[in-house]
């Protein structure tokens, strides 16, 4: 399933290939988030043109609406949404964290109140696996117990050990001809807990391993430190996935340390809110200075947004035209895919450190932050 092709001779960055029933994914890779079977505002053919090879769907949300059995009856998630390339489904574990006021945790699993209609929902490790098997994704994630950070040690340790026990139950329940199961390493910012979790999960020989429980309140440096003391204990022969991360600089920091796979809502959510990522910095297009700006967002970008002027794109947002969020979402996803494509090429040539440094030297996302005259 995973082939390590080359590791950069100057750092931990890895170029590899993930093989699934719906095709190969070149790693490192970024997965756009398609929580409900759609990357918001982007039609499948447009998504393919961004360079995306794999997307993410969410078990919890799809099980509520339209329901995993509806998706199964309509041919599975690939047929349902029209995406014929690889799909990874999250387990719903993050909702254990994000819906803290609406759930209870027991050893058996999590009990939720639906955020849609308030009805009671029980999610066990076994149910989590069966839902994902009904969805038919290529990669399924185990159910884990996510906690906030920094968190007290006792809480972190209890959640980590419960995550290991739940992962074992997921593995025992899995029964799908091609779906692969990834485990999730927890332990907060505690090096010994992360190491213990990684070593315990490695004994079960999952198809891949993820670092979970980050990007939930810690500083960027704390996240990088957590990767530094976790990655050495993750199997080198399996893909490594950093869940819910993110910002371009965080992705590059992860690649530098040996992470292979990423996902985050930032490029799509920020695009819907008039923020464009470019190789010369981040632009906030509602700013008045773009009113008569006839330049493209990025002269080197092939996306449809970059065939229009900054002034036109600003107009779309000020006029509340739906094309604005669509175009900027496509642009941001194209930017992210170009970022990881460049990373892969740099790794092949043993120059990822140089690539990383060049990114750090460009103008930062604060470029427009203090601009006056916003809408």
Residue with tokens 């700013």: 287
Alpha helices in the chain, H assignment, sequence order: 44-49, 59-64, 68-73, 76-81, 93-98, 125-135, 153-173, 191-202, 220-230, 248-257, 266-272, 310-318, 323-348, 352-360
The C-alpha angle 206, 222, 92, rounded to 5 degrees, equals 40
The C-alpha R_g of the chain, in whole angstroms, comes to: 21
Sheet bearing 103-105, strands edge to edge:
103-105, 110-113, 120-123
- The answer to whether residue 90 is catalytic is yes
Quote helix, strand, coil % in the chain, to nearest 5. 40, 20, 40
How many other CB atoms are there within 10 angstroms of residue 19's CB atom?
13
By the 8 A CB rule, do 181 and 140 touch? yes
How many alpha carbons fall within 13 Å on the CB side of residue 328? 30
Residue of 174, 87, 94, 91 whose CA lies nearest to 136: 87
Question: Catalytic one among 138, 144, 263, 298?
Answer: 263
By the 8 A CB rule, do 8 and 350 touch? yes
DSSP characters over 266-303: HHHHHHHTTEEEETTEEEETTSGGGTT--S-S-TT--S
Cα 126 to Cα 91: distance, rounded to the nearest angstrom: 11
Q: Write out the two tokens for 363.
A: 């103008």
Alpha helices in 99-152, H assignment, sequence order: 125-135
Question: Catalytic one among 90, 250, 260, 298?
Answer: 90
- The answer to whether residue 152 is catalytic is no
By the 8 A CB rule, do 156 and 190 touch? yes
Residues annotated as part of the active site:
90, 263
């Amino acid at each position: 399933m995973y082939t390590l092709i080359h590791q950069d001779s100057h750092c931990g960055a890895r170029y590899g290939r993930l093989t699934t029933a719906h095709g190969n994914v070149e790693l490192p890779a970024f997965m756009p988030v398609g929580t409900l079977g759609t990357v918001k505002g982007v039609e499948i053919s447009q998504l393919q043109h961004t360079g995306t090879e794999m997307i993410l769907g969410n078990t919890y949300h799809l099980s509520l609406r339209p329901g995993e059995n509806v998706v199964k009856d309509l041919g599975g998630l690939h047929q349902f949404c029209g995406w014929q390339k690889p799909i990874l489904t999250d387990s719903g574990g993050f909702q254990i964290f994000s819906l803290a006021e609406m759930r209870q945790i027991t050893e058996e699993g999590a009990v939720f109140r639906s955020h849609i209609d308030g009805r009671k929902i029980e999610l066990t490790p076994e149910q989590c696996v069966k839902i994902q098997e009904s969805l038919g994704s290529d990669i399924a994630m185990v159910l884990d117990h996510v906690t906030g950070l920094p968190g007290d040690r006792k809480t972190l340790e209890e959640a980590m050990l419960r995550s290991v026990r739940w992962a074992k139950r997921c593995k025992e329940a899995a029964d799908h001809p091609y779906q692969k199961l990834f485990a999730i390493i927890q332990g907060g910012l505690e090096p010994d807990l992360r190491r213990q979790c990684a070593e315990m999960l490695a004994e079960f020989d999952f198809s891949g391993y993820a670092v979970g429980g980050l990007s939930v309140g810690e500083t960027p440096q704390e996240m990088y430190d957590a990767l530094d003391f976790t990655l050495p204990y993750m199997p080198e022969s399996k893909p490594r996935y950093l869940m819910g991360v993110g910002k371009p600089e965080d992705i590059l920091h992860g690649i530098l340390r040996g992470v292979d796979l990423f996902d985050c809502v930032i490029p799509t959510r920020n695009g819907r809110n008039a923020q464009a990522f470019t190789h010369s910095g981040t632009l906030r297009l509602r700013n008045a200075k773009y009113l008569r700006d006839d330049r493209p967002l990025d002269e080197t970008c092939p996306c449809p947004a970059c065939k229009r002027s900054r002034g036109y794109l600003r107009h779309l947002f000020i006029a509340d035209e739906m094309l604005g969020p669509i175009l900027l979402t496509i642009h941001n996803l194209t930017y992210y895919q170009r970022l990881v494509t460049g990373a892969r090429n740099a790794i092949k040539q043993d120059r990822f450190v140089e690539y990383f440094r060049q990114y750090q030297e460009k103008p930062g996302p604060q470029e427009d932050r203090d601009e006056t005259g916003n809408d």
